[in-house]
Chain A
Amino acid sequence: MEIDPFIFRLSIFILSIFIGYYVVWSVTPSLHTPLMSVTNAISSVIIVGAIIAALANQSEKIFETANIFGYLAIVLAAVNIFGGFLVTQRMLAMYKKKKKDKK
């Protein structure tokens, strides 16, 4: 009997939830806003699905309906990827430690 590949993916999924659980609890509360913007950026990795959808069946027609939805998804995800990572970068650059001033 072979194991359904779905079970493997489910295992990855469940284990990732646990990783996420422990990793996120270790995030310092002062960085919760950057946490939200960076999770938003990485969830846009959904763009890989959009790219596959957009580039499918190119030989006959360039813009099949399925392709159009792929391209639209690329635009949306790209806004998020660039916007999300850059705004996170901008925020994180602001977090500074106290300068050692003489007392």
Chain B
Amino acid sequence: MISANLLAVFYLISGVLFILALRGLSSPETSRQGNLYGIIGMALAIGVTIISAANFSTGFIYLIVFLLLGGSIGAFIAFKIPMTAMPELVAGFHSLVGLAAVFVAISAFLNPAVFNLGFPGNIKISSLIEMSLGAAIGAITFTGSIIAFLKLRGIMSGSPITFTGQHYLNLALGLILISLIFYLCKTQVDTWFWFIIAISFLVGVLLIIPIGGADMPVVISMLNSYSGWAAAGIGFTLENTALIITGALVGSSGAILSYIMCKGMNRSFFNVILGGWGATDQTSLNKSKDNKPVKNGNADDAAFLMKNASSVIIVPGYGMAVAQAQHALREMVDALKKNGVKVTYAIHPVAGRMPGHMNVLLAEANVAYDEVFELEEINNDFANCDVVYVIGANDVTNPAAKTDPKSPIYGMPILDVEKSKSVLFVKRSLSPGYAGIDNELFYRDNTLMLFADAKKMTEDILKNLD
């Protein structure tokens, strides 16, 4: 047996280890050790909890069985998952945290005495509020993450689903949730508790369906944050320091990531959450559909341009992930380097479907992380660069963000691709990007369009480089 005080100290230690785990991520060198701290913290928390329960009967055996069952599923997924599927994996994992929070809240509600919260029908008011909040946020995280998962996986269309009165419905449901929590505290009737969970499930769905595919970086970060707040809510209920610390860390981490993503798109958080982009300026959209001349190139031209350049900057985007072109890209870059070309990578904060998505893919393809630069670090280099190779990106290079106040992306920070001597655009067609706006870069004299699948084109260029 461990005394309650000693147990609390151990939980505090795991909390500190979790802080160190996040701290380690400040640089790739220290990150692996950070992850180890996280694992130790988790093992410690689980270990002392089991010892303190001091129940080594049949229940203990079931506990180990279930732990190993979940653990092996998790380990299997972790080893099998391709890096391109990381956004939906993270969304799926968030849903599990959310549902686990709901389940823990339910068992605390059904059997409050175990957690020293009072007795069924007479639970402490503060605990009731905490567990309803934990359950509600957990439930929203669960269904919201499921929708995000389905959208990212392509099972559900990525386009926003909107209907009239949507925001009022959400507002009404929010108010109903608050009043249900109020009635639950007043009457202790368990029906209210089940209603809270059911409505929260619904809210989770409604919150995420109006948000479009390219806004997924914000959605994932936001759900990350929610899962943290749910954990913190449960932490208050269970009076557990490790959970409170972790919940606060994860909650603020997700909130910061959401902020960074919104800033990368120059949109307010509410603008993203309330959904629907590109529906704004239809007139300027249609005007640009005229047949403007486009310079159409092939792999041979692209290889010639890049081979004779002294510096090349690669701008990857979601299209690279879709085409799984990262390995081919790195081989092409290796060949260029052999020819004495200086090659660097430029990554826009919202490239891809989750924060840091492109960095992981490039790391997977063995691109050294000190050749990969963020927008602020590299944006001045475009002016001195000979060739920019844009692979699967579009809106993040669109100069309209700087020049056209009417454009929906006006004010969004972009990579100054247009300043380089020539631009190569690998794209499957001339279709506009996610924002639904045309990119004037396509029609410039120094732009060469390469219409092909990103992977195929990169491989063809590689062949032509030899």
Interface positions of A (Cβ within 8 A of B): 5-6, 9, 12-14, 16-17, 19-21, 23-58, 62, 64-67, 69-99
Contact = CB atoms under 8 A, between A and B. Distances in A.
Interface stretch (B21-29, B274-282, B422-430): B21-29
B221 A36 contact: yes
B356 A87 contact: no
B97 A34 contact: no
Q: Is the interface of B mostly helix, strand, loop or mixed?
A: helix
A12 B70 contact: no
B357 A53 contact: no
A23 B74 contact: no
Interface residues of B, number: 116
Contact of B360 (A20, A70, A84, A94): A94
Contact of B77 (A58, A83, A89): A83
A70 to B, nearest CB: 5
A45 B126 contact: no
B281 to A, nearest CB: 30
Contacts of A80: 70, 74, 93, 96-97, 100
A43 B250 contact: yes
B439 interface: no
B326 to A, nearest CB: 11
Interface stretch (B149-157, B165-173, B232-240, B389-397): B232-240
A90 B101 CA distance: 27
A44 B100 contact: yes
A49 B243 contact: yes
Contacts of A53: 104, 107-108, 111, 114-115
B50 interface: yes
Given A35-B22, A36-B221, A57-B114, A46 B101 contact: yes
12 contacts: A20-B253, A24-B22, A30-B372, A33-B357, A34-B356, A39-B224, A40-B90, A43-B250, A52-B114, A53-B107, A79-B74, A84-B93
